[in-house]
Amino acid sequence: MTAWKTFVRSKIFWPVMALVALVAANTIKTTHFLNIRVQDGHLFGALIDILRNSSPLLLVALGMTLVIATRGIDLSVGAVVAISGAVACSFIASSPNPGAVVTVLTAVAIAVLLSLVLGAWNGFLVSVVGIQPIIATLVLMTAGRGIAMLITGGQITTINSPAYKQIGSGFWLGVPLAVLIAGGVFAIVATLTRRTALGMLIESVGINPLASRLAGVQSRTIIWTVYALAGVFAGIAGLMISSNVMAADANNAGLFIELDAILAVVIGGTSLAGGKFSLSGTLVGVLVIQTLTLTVTILGIPPAVTPLFKAIVVIAVCLMQSPVVRTKLGSRRRVPVMAPVPAEVVS
Partner 1 sequence: MTAQDVRPPTGPVVPGPVRRRRPDVSRVLHAVRVDRRFLPVVGTIVVLLLMFTIGGARYENFLSGRVVSNLFINNSFLIVLAVGMTFVIITGGIDLSVGAVVALSGISAASLLQSGLPAFVVIPLMILIGSALGLVVGVMVQVFEIQPFIATLAVMFLARGLCYVISLSSIPITDPTIVWLSSTRIPIGDTWSITPSGIIALAGVAAAFFVLHYTRFGRTVYAIGGGESSAILMGLPVARTKVLVYVISGTCGGIGGFLFTVFSRSGYSLTGVGMELDAIAAVVIGGTLLTGGSGFVIGSVLGVLVLGLIQTIITFQGTLSSWWTKIFIGVLLLIFVVLQRAIAARRR
Distances (CA, A) of 86 to 81, 92, 147, 299, 301: 9, 10, 9, 34, 32
Q: Which helix (H) or strand (E) holds 91?
A: helix 77-94
Task: Please report whether residue 40 would count as binding partner 1 according to CB under 8 A.
Answer: no
Task: Please report whether residue 46 would count as binding partner 1 according to CB under 8 A.
Answer: no
What x/- string results for residues 62 through 101 when contact with partner 1 is judged by CB under 8 A?
-----------x----------------------------
Task: Please report whether residue 322 would count as binding partner 1 according to CB under 8 A.
Answer: yes
Sole binder of partner 1 in the list 23, 140, 177, 179 (CB under 8 A): 140
Give 226-294 as a DSSP string. HHHHHHHHHHHHHHHHHHHHTEE-TTTTTTTHHHHHHHHHHHTT--TT-S---HHHHHHHHHHHHHHHH
Task: Please report whether residue 312 would count as binding partner 1 according to CB under 8 A.
Answer: yes
Tell me which residue of 227, 70, 95 sits closest to 160, measured CA to CA.
95
Task: Please report whether residue 310 would count as binding partner 1 according to CB under 8 A.
Answer: yes
Question: How many Cα atoms occupy the beta-carbon half-sphere of 148 within 13 Å?
Answer: 36
Task: Please report whether residue 324 would count as binding partner 1 according to CB under 8 A.
Answer: yes
Q: Which helix (H) or strand (E) holds 38?
A: strand 37-39
Residue nearer to partner 1 on the CB measure, 148 or 178: 148
Task: Please report whether residue 347 would count as binding partner 1 according to CB under 8 A.
Answer: yes
- Find the angle CA(19)-CA(321)-CA(279) to the nearest 5 degrees: 60
Task: Please report whether residue 342 would count as binding partner 1 according to CB under 8 A.
Answer: yes
User: Are 198 and 219 in contact, with CB atoms under 8 Å apart?
Assistant: no
From 92-100, 166-174, 206-214, 302-310, span contacting partner 1 (CB under 8 A): 302-310
User: Are 57 and 264 in contact, with CB atoms under 8 Å apart?
Assistant: yes
Task: Please report whether residue 141 would count as binding partner 1 according to CB under 8 A.
Answer: yes
What x/- string results for residues 197 through 236 when contact with partner 1 is judged by CB under 8 A?
----------------------------------------
CA distance 118 to 124: 10
Sole binder of partner 1 in the list 237, 247, 262, 292 (CB under 8 A): 262
Residue nearer to partner 1 on the CB measure, 122 or 243: 122
Shortest gap between Cβ of 190 and partner 1 (angstroms)? Answer: 24
| Amino acid symbol at 18 | A
Distances (CA, A) of 67 to 6, 70, 173: 27, 5, 33
Residues that bind partner 1 in the complex, under the rule CB under 8 A: 73, 125, 129-132, 134-136, 138-147, 149-150, 154, 250, 259, 262-263, 266, 271-273, 302, 304-312, 314-315, 318-319, 322-325, 342-344, 347
